[in-house]
Amino acid sequence: MRYLHFLPAFAPGLALCAAAVSASQGVLPLTAPVPGGVAIVCVGRAPGPAPQVAFDGQRVLVARVGDVWHAVVGLPLALRPGAHELSVLDGETSVRTIRFDVGSRKYETQHLVLADRRQVDPAPEDLRRIAREQEALARAFSTFSDAATDSLAFALPSEGRISSSFGLRRILNNEPRQPHSGLDIAAPAGTPIAAPAAGTVIETGDYFFNGLTVLLDHGQGMITMYNHLSQIDVAKGARVARGERIGAVGQTGRVTGPHLHWSVSLNNARVDPALFLSSEARKQDLAGLRPAALGGAPAESAPVRCSE
């Protein structure tokens, strides 16, 4: 179901949550209210019905922890730091806004050299293909389904070494490109890729930059993407369980070697996947899996507090 925008009307509302609960509890991701991170905002009290929440015209995932509803807000890498607002719809007519603050985060720079010049400067026919593919991806990332999420604590989708963290400012053949919108896991071609949580396959394809690709809808605007596969083992529309194989690591599309590019999108904003990893997953490679949105610091969390 696509979200229909509702008009905000200011009210003081609830304050920003002090912190996310521990990822090991499998409820909320780590909080990192910076561009490319996640803000956790208290939006209401349970057991009343979950409010509908929107940010920048996109529906936002809402999760319950104890007696509190929390908006789990994806923050785009291009978002300006400072004060921002959520629109909250209670019932059918009562609308209010909640302010929250976004800090700044400077990500590192990565220089890459590609031998295939066409992957840096595509030909005109390639640009037409890329435009079509971007439209398909935009539709997938803007999907919002009312289905409840299986969990917000993800397993790693593949074994391997973290070769590129989220948010890196990419320089390809000395030419600036878009920041890195996912987490790269280097592994031999053919290494299995498994769904990190239950979901529905909403798109598959062979893309100019992304190579063989699978996108999963986990519910409430949570979409994950898997790029550069050597093979796809699921069909569009299929329901997959946590841990079910969806493909294998490869080096299709724009790559310098075999690896999995894994993206996590919330309310159509690509965010740091490491924020969603369970504590068990982070222990597999502590240094490599420290969220870039937290500055690479050890992942810490604290009890949720919500004031009215």
Predicted confidence at residue 227, as pLDDT, reads 97
Predicted confidence at residue 25, as pLDDT, reads 37
Report yes or no on 230 lying in a domain. yes
What is the Cα–Cα distance from 172 to 188, expressed in whole angstroms? 23
Q: How many helices (H) and strands (E) does the chain have?
A: 2, 20
Q: How confident is the model at residue 182 (pLDDT cuts 50, 70, 90)?
A: very high
> Which percentage of the chain shows pLDDT scores above 70?
79
Report yes or no on 64 lying in a domain. no
Closest by Cα among 106, 88, 110 to 97: 88
Report yes or no on 245 lying in a domain. yes
Question: Is the model more confident about 165 or about 207?
Answer: 207
> Tens digit of pLDDT for each residue in 191-205?
999 999 999 999 999
> What separation in angstroms does the CA of 153 have from each of 49, 144, 258?
23, 19, 26
Q: How confident is the model at residue 113 (pLDDT cuts 50, 70, 90)?
A: low
Report yes or no on 300 lying in a domain. no
Mean pLDDT, residues 78-84 taken together: 96
Mean pLDDT, residues 29-41 taken together: 95
* Sheet order of strands, 38-45 included: 38-45, 68-74, 61-65
Residue-number span of the structural domain to which 190 is assigned: 109-294
CA atoms within 13 A on the CB side of 287: 2
What is the Cα–Cα distance from 293 to 42, expressed in whole angstroms? 21
What is the Cα–Cα distance from 71 to 23, expressed in whole angstroms? 16
Predicted confidence at residue 138, as pLDDT, reads 94
The DSSP code for 275 is G
Mean pLDDT check: name the lowest of 64-73, 133-142, 174-183, 229-238: 174-183
Report yes or no on 302 lying in a domain. no
Q: Domain of 257: which CATH number?
A: 2.70.70.10
Query: H/E element holding 128?
Result: helix 124-141
If you average pLDDT over each of 117-121, 124-128, 262-266, which comes out highest?
262-266
What is the number of structural domains in the chain? Answer: 1
Q: How confident is the model at residue 298 (pLDDT cuts 50, 70, 90)?
A: low
If you average pLDDT over each of 20-34, 39-53, 184-198, 270-284, which comes out highest?
184-198
3-class SS of residue 132: helix
> Tens digit of pLDDT for each residue in 229-281?
999 999 999 999 999 999 999 999 988 889 999 999 999 999 999 999 987 77
The DSSP code for 233 is -
Report yes or no on 5 lying in a domain. no
Report yes or no on 7 lying in a domain. no
Place of tokens 């400012």: 169
Predicted confidence at residue 3, as pLDDT, reads 35
What is the Cα–Cα distance from 213 to 260, expressed in whole angstroms? 10
Give the count of beta carbons closer than 10 Å to the beta carbon of residue 290. 18
Report yes or no on 37 lying in a domain. no
Surface-to-core class of residue 249, CB atoms within 10 Å of its CB (0-12 exposed, 13-18 middle, 19+ buried)? buried
Predicted confidence at residue 15, as pLDDT, reads 37
Q: How confident is the model at residue 285 (pLDDT cuts 50, 70, 90)?
A: low
Q: How confident is the model at residue 301 (pLDDT cuts 50, 70, 90)?
A: low
